[in-house]
Amino acid sequence: MNKFTRSLIGAAFVALAATPAFAETPKDSLVMAWQFDDIISLDPAEIFEVSGAEYGAQVYDRLIGIDLKDTSKIVPAVAESWTVSEDGKTYTFKIRDGVKFHSGNPLTAEDAAFSLQRAVKLNKSPAFILTQFGFTKDNVDQKIKAADARTLVMETDQAYAPTFVLNCLTADVASVVDAKLLKQNEKDGDFGYSWLKSNSAGSGAFKLRQWKANESLTLDANPAYWQGAPEMKRVILRHIAEPATQRLLLEKGDVDVARNLKPEQLDALRSSKDVRIVEAPKGTLWYISLNQKNPILAKPEVRQAFRYLVDYDAMGRTIMNGIATIHQSFLPKGFLGSLDDKPFKYDPAKARELLTAAGYPDGFTVTMDVRNVTPWTDLAQTIQASAAAAGVKIELLPMDGKQALTKYRSRNQDIYIGQWGADYQDPHTNAETFASNPDNADNGPSKTLAWRNSWDIPELTQKTKAAVVERDADKRVEIYHELQKVVMTDSPFVVMFQQVEVPVERASVKGLIWGPSFDNNLYRLASKK
């Protein structure tokens, strides 16, 4: 047992000992145990992590959404209808009448325009979802504007597949914020950014009551919600890092839902009549990435070697059993053009051959940033052990999710182990981030995953751009197949698994929606007996 393992076990005992005794949860409140230390900001113009995306879906509305029963279909939200011009460049949305923000302010086309303009001008991590349509801080006020209180007009720089444009507007970054409230809380021309990082300005089914980083997130129901008031008056998310503690709280009735139980804990609960195990396939991938700023990791043979240093089968049978499936391409199953090829298996001898060809016959030492919760730590320790068989010594650097993401987004890591969830239901959502890097400078405006790992790929970037304007679906599929094969074999990304979320609910809980992505997990219809 290494020092890192001992510290984790010790932390689990401390967490158990420190957990206070709670009465059974109130009938009008839903309490969840979840790991959400990855939340960096509550501003939808900046939210770009799994937990933050789920929060945003409860608090904010978007113009449009996806049909959760058929994700190929776009459905109305606060925009009750829309049209696309004959030239394919102008989108006109009619805003639903009578929708109000939590503040009581009416939601208008002016708010929708301000929200999209604001996201482009702030230029935080998810802004590229909008700027890819030619919007810049200099032109966005002319390209996205309200024709009147109920009409929003958006003009793209060229004709794209309409489903692609519309799918992008279902992403968190397209959430509609309360312009009047943010302008009241603006500081030094920041569009209310400093304030909104820890407050809310939405019109959704719930409104923020309190956020304590790495501790709790509390939401109150919006009784005036345009789709109907939630039955639960309050939702309380408790950050419980240890799955063992989550299970204990669930069985005692101190929480209604546990979100991060391990396979062995799930197996032990399958016969219980007090709980319900839910399986919800997600378009979320587990991967490791190799920063190309590190000259060792930048060698093509080293990138290839890492594909043979991961014991996919062993981790799939143990750590990820029941909560993920082996998947090695950047498009998840269920997306247009997804490849289900699995060409790589654990082969340290093959990896050593490649390392020798790269000039490292005895291996090398490198660091890996790890979110200090399971299954990240379990995956990291397994990869550390499997890589050692080929002489690669990986020093694990445990930290909370916010620290790991902040470092990753600054391109200061060696190896990062993480998750990537699709932002919308078009294949470009993952193609753009894994296979596109328009500007590899440290201040590059498009901060894709390829950019975060300093992978400079001008030709691949152009091919990714070509895919998104291709209107022939069969030709689009061919391009995405080509992109996936390149990324699968010669990129800094080793995609390992596709997630199956397995929340466990108390039997009394009904109506929670566990969608195809975390920003489709919805609390609005939840109830308890």
Q: Which long-range contacts (CB under 8 A, 24 or more apart) does 350-353 make?
A: 350/305, 350/308, 351/305, 351/306, 351/308, 351/309, 351/390, 351/392, 352/305, 352/390, 352/391
Is the Cβ–Cβ distance between 491 and 434 less than 8 Å? yes
CA distances from 422 to 6, 148, 417 (A): 35, 33, 17
Residues contacting 367, CB < 8 A, separation 6+? 394, 395, 396, 397, 413, 414, 415
Q: What pLDDT score does 326 carry?
A: 98
More confidently predicted of 294 and 161: 294
More confidently predicted of 237 and 468: 237
Residues contacting 279, CB < 8 A, separation 6+? 322, 500, 501, 502
> Pick from 408, 323, 320: which is nearest to 48 by CA?
408
Would you call the peptide bond into 162 cis, given omega within 30 degrees of 0 as the criterion?
no
Please write the tens of the pLDDT for every residue from 103-116.
999 999 999 999 99
Q: What pLDDT score does 23 carry?
A: 55
Q: What pLDDT score does 469 carry?
A: 84
Q: What pLDDT score does 26 carry?
A: 93
Q: What pLDDT score does 281 carry?
A: 92
Sign of dihedral through CA atoms 283, 258, 496, 403? positive
Mean local confidence (pLDDT), 306-313: 98
What's the alpha-carbon Rg for the chain, to the nearest Å? 23
Please write the tens of the pLDDT for every residue from 164-221.
999 999 999 999 999 999 999 999 999 999 999 999 999 999 999 999 999 999 999 9
Q: What pLDDT score does 213 carry?
A: 93
Asked whether residue 487 carries a pLDDT value surpassing 60, the answer given is: yes
pTM of the model: 0.84
Backbone angles phi, psi at 362, to 5 degrees: -100, 10
**Number of Cβ within a 10 Å radius of residue 293:** 15
Asked whether residue 10 carries a pLDDT value surpassing 70, the answer given is: no
- Beta bridge partner(s), residue 396: 368
Mean local confidence (pLDDT), 401-427: 94
Element (DSSP H or E) covering residue 412:
none
Tokens of 346: 């654990």
Q: What pLDDT score does 163 carry?
A: 87
Asked whether residue 16 carries a pLDDT value surpassing 50, the answer given is: no
Percent of the chain with pLDDT over 90: 90
Please write the tens of the pLDDT for every residue from 440-472.
999 998 899 999 999 999 999 999 999 988 878
- The Cα–Cα gap between 152 and 145 comes to 6
Q: What pLDDT score does 334 carry?
A: 87
pLDDT band (50, 70, 90) for residue 1: very low
Asked whether residue 241 carries a pLDDT value surpassing 80, the answer given is: yes
Q: What pLDDT score does 24 carry?
A: 80
Q: What pLDDT score does 315 carry?
A: 98
Mean local confidence (pLDDT), 384-388: 98
Quickly list DSSP for 258-271: E----HHHHHHHTT
Provide the terminal-to-terminal Cα distance of the chain, rounded to the nearest Å: 45
- The Cα–Cα gap between 61 and 388 comes to 48
What DSSP character marks residue 96? P
Is the Cβ–Cβ distance between 43 and 195 less than 8 Å? no
- The Cα–Cα gap between 62 and 171 comes to 8
Q: What pLDDT score does 529 carry?
A: 85
Mean local confidence (pLDDT), 511-527: 96
Residue 65 CA, distance from chain mean position: 17
> Pick from 429, 434, 419, 465: which is nearest to 66 by CA?
429
Asked whether residue 494 carries a pLDDT value surpassing 50, the answer given is: yes
Q: What pLDDT score does 161 carry?
A: 84
Please write the tens of the pLDDT for every residue from 20-67.
444 589 999 999 999 999 999 999 999 999 999 999 999 999 999 999
Mean local confidence (pLDDT), 480-492: 97
> Pick from 74, 159, 81: which is nearest to 426 by CA?
74
Among the ranges given (5-14, 245-254, 400-409), the one the predictor scored with the smallest mean pLDDT: 5-14
Asked whether residue 361 carries a pLDDT value surpassing 80, the answer given is: yes
Mean local confidence (pLDDT), 133-147: 97
For the chain, what is the mean pLDDT? 94
Asked whether residue 9 carries a pLDDT value surpassing 80, the answer given is: no
- The Cα–Cα gap between 165 and 92 comes to 12
Mean local confidence (pLDDT), 404-425: 94
